Amino acid sequence: MARTSIRRPVLKINLDSAGDPRRGPDELAAEEPLEIRLRKQPLAVTMRTPGQDIDLAIGFLLTEGIIRAADDVVTAQLCAGTDTPNTYNVVDVVLGADVPPPVTDLSRNFYTTSSCGVCGKASIDAVRTRSRFDVAGDPMTVPAATLAELPDRLRAAQRTFERTGGLHAAGLFTAAGELLVLREDVGRHNAVDKVIGWAAREGRLPLAGHLLLVSGRASFELTQKAWMAGIPLLAAVSAPSTLAAELADEAGMTLVGFLRGATMNVYSSAHRVTV
């Protein structure tokens, strides 16, 4: 069973209470490194919450443009790492013979952290990967009233967040508001990769007519990942960045931010949100 959370003894202090500080257990969201290898050669390391690691690896490879579909992967398996006891924090992937190997150099460093998936890249141009899917031509529309209901549905499905309060979430919805899959992770980009990796393995790409909701902000990297999966609408409960809005414009993707209660801001391709 994946180590999504760990109990730890803490000293609990409540200044509004007359009682003394007390010791008791608290549940923390797990954060461990995952190394992604191609034919046993290291490609990337990301700090993630264990669970759905195969989906995470496939989603990462797809959104980075290394593979085009799950069929490009011959095998993907958890492997023994160097930890004792073994934590299986390595995924080794074998690509098809016709899949060109990625070109890695100092301008395209694949080391990532749980807070930012592209911080190690030398420039924005190095990560502006072109999607093969026509997001701009997607005719999907979503009523604003439907969008307004989705954050509560996402929050209700966040089981590990309920225990720890320490995870990001990404949820894939239909245009009618049906939640198809939700993934949680300490890294917002990891949660999105887990969703996209699941969709790739299920043969659902491109995700035309679907929308992706993230529990935090909408960054450039999340917009790029949505575009690579053919998602026409990305919504976030918090703010988008300038680069996220610019990339959404370039892709013809609808970008919604500050989706809270009955209010929201539509930053690009507003024609998909109907009132």
Tell me which residues are annotated as active site. 116
Alpha-carbon gap, residue 256 to 265, rounded angstroms: 6
Token readout for 242 is: 């300038």
Q: Is 144 exposed, middle or buried (0-12, 13-18, 19+ CB in 10 A)?
A: middle
